[in-house]
Amino acid sequence: MDSRWKYDFMGQVTNTLSRASKKEKRVKLAAPPEAIKEKAEKQLVAADRALSDEKVLTKAYRQLLEKITQSGSKIDTKRVHKAFRIAKEAHKHQRRSSGEPYMIHPLAVAEILVELNLDTDTIVTALLHDTVEDTTLTIKDI
């Protein structure tokens, strides 16, 4: 009998070569430690960026709400908040050429319109104005 064949304890013939091949395949499938470390670092960078984006957007949104409060106009902040959440979710993976989150632009437009003492519908429209054009959302979705 060829040396790669042997009897196991139950008397069955097994192929030792196939066992070795399986082990080699397992070893080959395992990622090297450098690749695992690199992937973990990329995930940390992405998480840091997401956290940073969240802070930037929260600050800009608070500024908008502060402008609304200071204006003394009767803007429905619940509708503004709903529009902000929809737009933020729709634009979450988009960035401006400057690298900042895309949502900064609609917030800046809305802030300008608050300063002009425009109504709730106009502020909501400012927040949503690029969602239909630049995302998968449709007018019907909104």
- Given 2, 8, 34, 133, the catalytic residue: 133
Annotated catalytic residue 8: no
Structure tokens belonging to residue 100 = 């900042």
Let me know how long the chain is: 142
Annotated catalytic residue 133: yes
Which string of DSSP letters, residue by residue, matches the chain?
--TTEEE-TTS-EEEHHHHHHHHHHHHHHSPPHHHHHHHHHHHHHHHHHHHHHHHHHHHHHHHHHHHHHHHT----HHHHHHHHHHHHHHTTT-B-TTSSBTTHHHHHHHHHHHHTT--HHHHHHHHHTTHHHHSS--TTT-
- Given 24, 115, 119, 134, the catalytic residue: 134
Residue 128: closest CA among 95, 67, 82: 82
Catalytic residue ranges = 133-134
